[in-house]
Structure 1
Amino acid sequence: MNDPLAHLLDALDGVGGSWPVSAGGERLPIESLDETQLVAANDRLGRLRRHLDAVHARVASEIARHSRPELGPDGLAKKHGYRNPIALVAATTGTTNGDAARLVAVGEATAPRPTFSGEDAPARHPHVAAGLSSGSIGMPAAAAIIAMLDRVAMRCDREILDAAEQTLVQQAAGLTLDQLAKVIARAEAHLDPDGLEPKESELRADRALHIFERAGMLHLRATLDPETAAPIKTAIEALVSAEFRAQADALGGGAANGAGTEVSAEVSTVDGDEPAAASAPGSGQLRALSPADADAPRRTVPQMQADALVLLASHLLGCDHKDVPIEGATVVVRMTLEQLTEGTGAALIDGIDQPVSVATARRMAAGGGVIPCVLGSHGEILDWGREKRLFTRAQKLALAERDGGCAGCGLPPGMTKAHHIRWWARDAGPTDLDNGVLLCDSCHHRVHDNGWEIRIDGTGVTARVWLIPPRHVDPDCTPRLGGRARFDYAA
């Protein structure tokens, strides 16, 4: 069955028919549902919403077809007093013109195309259409995939484009729209690597920092290209992460190894050094952000990021060694040996979603504070730049290469720590790559406190990380792909 309306009606029946009822046969109010019932209801409503998207997109495309410009005043939209079909859809659904335009575009791209013979030809994007119809993806994901495929369509072979569409639809299931955007950006770089350098030139030309005063506050508004942004983002995230750890230690929040938490005191994930001690300006060392005492007001993350920027500027003004980077903060740029030698393809920067050209990666690797990671054809690390001699740091770099950041949620490496899968004290777990994983604090607590398990398939940086839910979450304990493999484009 490939009828979107039939799928929608089935999903609607599923929501109503499976809603929990009382002993008297009355449907329970939402606030009376237990945790298991709430999760089940949310899953069914999510599926219903995705099926509703599929039907609404088809309806919107039909409205657009009946409102074609050549129909003039007899067009459907104009008959109902609207300038165009987008305005009609936006007004009648209470959404924005942009959302209505995406709905129409998705409908037109996924609806069967009528031919002169009267038969229907396949949809322009059949895999997206199938994903929408089955309910595995919703309209926002479909719109993002279609927009990217249409951008590269003139510069990419049709068979390759078709395979990419199928892959992206498969990967989109279960990802948030932000996570999918990261996958799509890498897919576009893979499909159209020659388009990266012209795009980067435009982005560099558009970089800007606006500074102005208003209502007693100094406002900074920056727009930065990936190459410019990488060291700034890495430095600020390193300082904020160090402060979170310092606060936890000051408040007694650090967990002992014996309790199952492997805590390392690195400033960033890929660094094994201790945080720099407080020192006077001009000493060549950057002062660590001071942990707040227990009674001090807790600052928000944006406030901590603002303080980190102030600290960087204060250090630069007072330091005799202007070229000293933040202790331990590392920008990693990765590419394959083939890309490095031939100068083609795309490279990735840890913490930055947008891929860059190999020319940009080469330029960054030539500067200070940046480590090039060059991979062989089988994914083995061929070169870690100047950092290879530091074994502990190299291990964490390798974990960052394998996991790409938090293996659970995909946060950048600078916001994660290396943890033992088999605990160091309880299980005598070894400190090696196959027993290590990068996790942010939130995912680490979720794994240890809620009974999740982690499995590593394979060896080295090409291994795959699997997160295994407990039975109260999934009775079948179906493994969920994590790490870089979940968020990278699976070409």
Structure 2
Amino acid sequence: MSSPVDALTDAVAALAGVWPDEHVEGCEAGRLVEMNRLVGQVRRLVDAAAVQVASEISRQSRPELGADSLAKRQGHRNATVMLATTLGTTTGEASKLIDVGAATVPQLRLSGEAAPARHPHVGAGVASGRIGRDAAAAIIRMLDGVEQRVGSSRLDEAEEHLAAQAPGLDLPSLQRLLVRMEAHLDPDGVAPKEEDLRARTFLSARQDASGGVTLKGFFDPSRGAVVLNLVDAMVTAELHRQRDAETRGNGLPPRPIPEMQADALIAICAHYSGCTATNQTLPGATVVVRVAFDDLQSGAGVGLIDGIDQPVCISTVRRMAAGGGVIPAVLGGESEILDWGREKRLFTTAQKRAITTRDGGCIGCGAPPGRSRVHHIDWWSHGGRTDAANGCLLCDACHHLIHDQGWEIRIDGPGIAAAVWLIPPPHVDAARTPRPAAATSARMPEAAA
């Protein structure tokens, strides 16, 4: 393989030839474009040199050499640490250099002969400065992943095609090309890969130490497309509105795309929580905001959102109450008791809202309303009534625990101001001392008034 140093020298000289005498600021467009092209060429040629050097350092630092390893003689644990330290990068980036070198640089056999590179087409692209280190690593990773299931001739054709297509592509575009090429080479592997992606699908929604809500998730392609397409459509619509406003001369500064995406997701959830066309009942999906009546009038104090630990200011309470899917629970006035006796088996939406307002979450463990359901305290099958005073919020785990272990639930007082108590069985507490419901015991005194 030819040395990249001569080409690097030429590229640096060419860059120096177009570089302005004083500074880049204000440089004419044509020169700036050419400078950018040459900077990219220099970077890729530096990558090519780094790959060859890393490959040889790795070869001379093989574990079997022991104390004679080059890296150890230089005071480093291994070749990866030596490269990371001397290049000022991470061990992950250093490992990438070694891996690309091992796949694209001819390796010396014990006899001293050079063995051909495993991926010569990618190697030629790297050495010539047409393919950078990261692009080469991505191509090699895909090809190695299907090597056992694809014939050598097809693999070689695919490598040649990818090496020709990679120059000029950014990494996301190259990754899309690799995904399609992988499916083309190994169509039987698509279904197992989809199954793996479905198994990895998750969404974690939690509060952090500041009281804000952090979302982290991963979705398989078929279900993720539903989320991605809807959010993207809403962001695109906002971008069009911004463009139209700018055309009319009354546009505001553009917002960051991540902020638009967050607002799109919030809008979707807010719409669903108040939508009557879904034909689904979701206990706890309605957001309940608790605020003392005096605080709401005065504009001072704070409110509490069920399921969220961080209190919010009165202006936020008012803003949320003006939106859909939010029920402001103003405490301190008279409470309406909603009773249906034996006429209905299931609690109505209004009853569920009232019980959620009273309990604030699972009375056993404090789980938020979204993970709890309204249950009959005295079972319907045992003659219990579908009244607000005979309902409470329980998550599934606490529901089974309370009924299986013989706990009792007592409600003292009317409506949403009632106190909810859990009475343990004798084997837990011989005195059977009532314990306050978990969610209500953690409320601020102002909110529990």
Instruction: State the TM-score, normalizing by the size of structure 2.
Output: 0.58
- Aligned pairs for 1:94-113 within 5 A: 94-113=88-107
> What letter corresponds to residue 122 of structure 1 in structure 2?
P
How much does 1:31 deviate?
3.2
- Aligned mates of 1:102, 1:67 — CA distance in 2: 16
Matched, 1:151 2:145: yes
Q: Tell me the secondary structure at the aligned position of residue 266 of structure 2.
A: helix
Matched, 1:219 2:217: no
> What letter corresponds to residue 121 of structure 2 in structure 1?
H
How much does 1:118 deviate?
4.0
Which of 44-53 and 300-309 deviates more? 300-309
Where does residue 7 of structure 2 map in the other structure?
A: 7
- Aligned pairs for 1:106-125 within 5 A: 106-115=100-109, 118-125=112-119
Q: Tell me the secondary structure at the aligned position of residue 123 of structure 1.
A: coil
With over 3 angstroms needed to count, the CA separation of the structure-2 counterparts of 1:295 and 1:183, relative to structure 1, is closer
- Aligned mates of 1:53, 1:201 — CA distance in 2: 37
- Aligned mates of 1:206, 1:125 — CA distance in 2: 31
> What letter corresponds to residue 12 of structure 2 in structure 1?
L
Which of 158, 177, 200 is 1:164 aligned to?
158
1:64-99 deviations in Å (ceiling 9; x for gaps): 000011100110001111111010000000011111
- Aligned mates of 1:83, 1:199 — CA distance in 2: 37
Q: Tell me the secondary structure at the aligned position of residue 30 of structure 1.
A: coil
Matched, 1:81 2:80: no
- Aligned mates of 2:195, 2:170 — CA distance in 1: 30
How much does 1:12 deviate?
2.5
Q: Tell me the secondary structure at the aligned position of residue 247 of structure 2.
A: coil
- Aligned mates of 1:140, 1:174 — CA distance in 2: 13
Query: Does the 8 A contact of 1:67 with 1:78 survive in 2?
Result: yes
- Aligned mates of 1:157, 1:87 — CA distance in 2: 36
Which of 249, 257, 260 is 1:304 aligned to?
260
Where does residue 49 of structure 1 map in the other structure?
A: 43
With over 3 angstroms needed to count, the CA separation of the structure-2 counterparts of 1:132 and 1:105, relative to structure 1, is same
Where does residue 302 of structure 2 map in the other structure?
A: none
With over 3 angstroms needed to count, the CA separation of the structure-2 counterparts of 1:238 and 1:31, relative to structure 1, is closer
- Aligned mates of 2:51, 2:94 — CA distance in 1: 9
Q: Which has the larger radius of gyration?
A: 2
Unaligned runs of at least 5 residues, structure 1: 22-26, 255-292, 325-491
Residues paired across the two proteins, number: 279
With over 3 angstroms needed to count, the CA separation of the structure-2 counterparts of 1:319 and 1:129, relative to structure 1, is same
Q: Tell me the secondary structure at the aligned position of residue 144 of structure 1.
A: helix
- Aligned mates of 2:191, 2:242 — CA distance in 1: 42
How much does 1:295 deviate?
7.3
Matched, 1:37 2:31: yes
Q: Tell me the secondary structure at the aligned position of residue 204 of structure 2.
A: strand
> What letter corresponds to residue 257 of structure 2 in structure 1?
V
Query: Does the 8 A contact of 1:90 with 1:100 survive in 2?
Result: yes
1:179-201 deviations in Å (ceiling 9; x for gaps): 11111111112112222222222
- Aligned mates of 2:117, 2:137 — CA distance in 1: 14
How much does 1:52 deviate?
1.2
How much does 1:217 deviate?
1.6
Query: Does the 8 A contact of 1:57 with 1:103 survive in 2?
Result: yes
- Aligned mates of 1:200, 1:123 — CA distance in 2: 33
With over 3 angstroms needed to count, the CA separation of the structure-2 counterparts of 1:51 and 1:298, relative to structure 1, is closer
Instruction: State the TM-score, normalizing by the size of structure 1.
Output: 0.53
- Aligned mates of 1:310, 1:296 — CA distance in 2: 21
Percent of pairs with identical residues: 44
1:153-200 deviations in Å (ceiling 9; x for gaps): 111110100111111111111011121111111111211222222222
How much does 1:298 deviate?
4.8
1:95-132 deviations in Å (ceiling 9; x for gaps): 11111000011111111133466432321110011111
Query: Does the 8 A contact of 2:19 with 2:35 survive in 1?
Result: no
Q: Tell me the secondary structure at the aligned position of residue 63 of structure 1.
A: helix
Q: Tell me the secondary structure at the aligned position of residue 306 of structure 1.
A: helix
> What letter corresponds to residue 49 of structure 1 in structure 2?
R
Matched, 1:248 2:247: no
- Aligned mates of 1:78, 1:191 — CA distance in 2: 42
Where does residue 383 of structure 1 map in the other structure?
A: none
Query: Does the 8 A contact of 1:54 with 1:138 survive in 2?
Result: yes
Where does residue 435 of structure 1 map in the other structure?
A: none
Measured on the aligned residues, the alpha-carbon RMSD in Å equals 2.3
How much does 1:44 deviate?
1.3
With over 3 angstroms needed to count, the CA separation of the structure-2 counterparts of 1:295 and 1:104, relative to structure 1, is closer
Where does residue 317 of structure 1 map in the other structure?
A: 273
- Aligned pairs for 1:291-440 within 5 A: 294=250, 298-322=254-278
Where does residue 18 of structure 2 map in the other structure?
A: 19
Q: Tell me the secondary structure at the aligned position of residue 210 of structure 1.
A: strand
